[in-house]
Structure 1
Amino acid sequence: MKIDKNIFKAEFVRRPNRFQAYVKIDGEEQMVHVPNTGRCKEILLPGCTILLREENNPTRKTKYDLIAGYKGEKLINIDSQVPNKVVEEALRENRIESLSMYTNIQREKFFGNSRFDFKLTDDNGHEYYLEVKGVTLENEGITKFPDAPTERGKKHLLELIEAKKKGHGAGVLFLIQIENVKKFMPNEETDKEFSEALRLAHSNGVDIYAYDCELGEDFIKLKESVPIEL
């Protein structure tokens, strides 16, 4: 996925709330929008280099979105709108082999009381519900989700179990918005209930996928499958 808007480097200063941050652009402090409600504490450190996407919308309060940060040499994309776009691109290009038989791809469809990111259908009408979760938390190549408690995430997993029980395909794909990682794990320390629900989903036949990304300052795409440790 190519980012078709202007990208600028800046220096991170502080993040007073989930949606706003202050950065320095050419020495001048400005407020920007943060398109991620997660904590990102290990990425957004005072003085670190971050990437801004220019959003020339006259109705906005801020001119830029903070979309990525450098953690040392490692670039991490934190834009929560990116994972679904990257996964949709990969699905349409048949780069997720175990899902390549599904030819009809629909976004944001309901099953039960949950709206899932994708409803996939094959030529025989068999349905598959896929939820996508973006992963930004990394330590020495080990990645985890979530980085903040998520009741909604747990609810999605339980609904995927119900979809599976009713004869549909069901899966959750963790898109790691980082390159060259070692493995993926649920974040037991941050959200024990989500972690338990993920293991329960796996034991009930829900597919668990984890993929990392190839990314640069102006692009990001699904790369390869990553080992999962539940």
Structure 2
Amino acid sequence: MIIDKKIVKGRFLNRPNRFQAYVELDGESLMVAVPNTGRCREILIPGTEVLLREGTTPTRKTPYDLIGGYKGDMLINIDSQVPNKVVEEALLLKRIKPLRDYNIVLREKFFNSSRFDFKLQIEPYINKELPEEYFLEVKGVTLEEQRLAMFPDAPTIRGARHLKELVEAKEQGYGAGVLFLIQMERVESFSPHDERDPLFGEALRYAKTHGVDIYAYNSIVTENSITLDKEIPVIL
């Protein structure tokens, strides 16, 4: 996925709330929007070099969105709107091998009270072994420690509820899965962050034992693009 807006670099100063941050740009302090309500404390450290995407909406209050930061020499994308776009691109390009036979990709479809990111459909004659309809939830991952990616970086009641709804979908004959898109390179494995949110880890293991597919993919990240790369092991 190409980021087609102007990208500039700044230095992170502080984050007074979940939605805003201050950065140093051209020697001045500037307020910017943060399109990620997670903590991102391991990335947004004072002095860190960050990427800013220029906003073009005339009525917006801030001129830039803070979309990424460097952790050492590794660039991490933190834009929470990116994972669904990256996964949609990968689904259409047949880059997610277990799901490549699904030829219809629909966005944001409901099952019971949950709205899942994707509903995939397949004609029976293509592959009779697959469920004709498949619900897929996507979670963006920005937390990494010693090449282990973890989710979430803040407690998420909604995330655990989604997993339980995926189990219900599976029990009713649908395909069901969750894909963790790791918004960086170089990670070697993925695990739930039990220390940060034990209920989510419990729900993820429950989903796995009840037949829900669990995928984790890292990404190739540049200053103006992010692309799904390769699948990595999930350690539960």
> If the TM-score is normalised by the length of the shorter chain, which range does it land in?
over 0.9
Deviations 1:79-121 (A, max 9, x none): 0000000000000000001001110000000001100000000
Equivalent residue number for residue 119 of structure 1: 119
2:226 maps to a residue whose letter is I
User: What runs of 5+ residues in structure 1 fail to find an aligned partner?
Assistant: none
Matches within 5 A, 1:80-159: 80-124=80-124, 126-159=132-165
Deviation at 1:182, TM superposition (A): 1.1
Shift, 1:215, TM fit: 1.1
CA distance in 1, matches of 2:148, 2:132: 35
| Percent identity for Structure 1 against Structure 2 | 62
Which one-letter code corresponds to 2:166 in the other structure? L
- Report the count of equivalent residues: 230
User: Counterpart of 1:118 in structure 2: which amino acid?
Assistant: F
TM-score (norm 1): 0.99
Choose the corresponding residue for 1:160, options 166, 177, 189.
166
Scaled by the length of structure 2, the TM-score of the pair is: 0.97
| SS of the residue 2:90 aligns to | helix
Report how far residue 56 of structure 1 moved. Answer: 1.9
Specify the alignment match of 2:42 in structure 1. 42
Following the alignment from structure 1 to structure 2, what is the Cα–Cα distance between the partners of residues 64 and 197? 36
Root-mean-square deviation (CA, aligned residues, Å) is: 0.7
Partner residue in 1 for 2:54: 54
Q: Distance in 2 between matches of 1:61 and 1:192?
A: 37
Segment drifting more, 220-229 vs 121-130 = 121-130
The C-alpha deviation readout for 1:168-222, integer Å capped at 9, x for no partner, is: 0000000000101111000000110000000000000000000000110000000
Structure 2, unpaired ranges of 5+: 125-130
Matched to 2:95, the amino acid is R
Cross-structure match for 2:224: 218
Q: Residues of 2 paired with 1:19 and 1:39: CA distance?
A: 11
Residue equivalent to 2:76: 76
What CA distance in whole angstroms lies between the structure 2 residues aligned with 1:66 and 1:215? Answer: 15
Of 201, 206, 216, the match for 2:207: 201
CA distance in 2, matches of 1:193, 1:179: 27
User: After the TM superposition, which segments of 4 or more aligned residues of structure 1 sit over 3 Å from their partners?
Assistant: none
Separation in 2, partners of 1:176, 1:191? 18
Identify which range, 199-208 or 123-132, moves more after superposition: 123-132
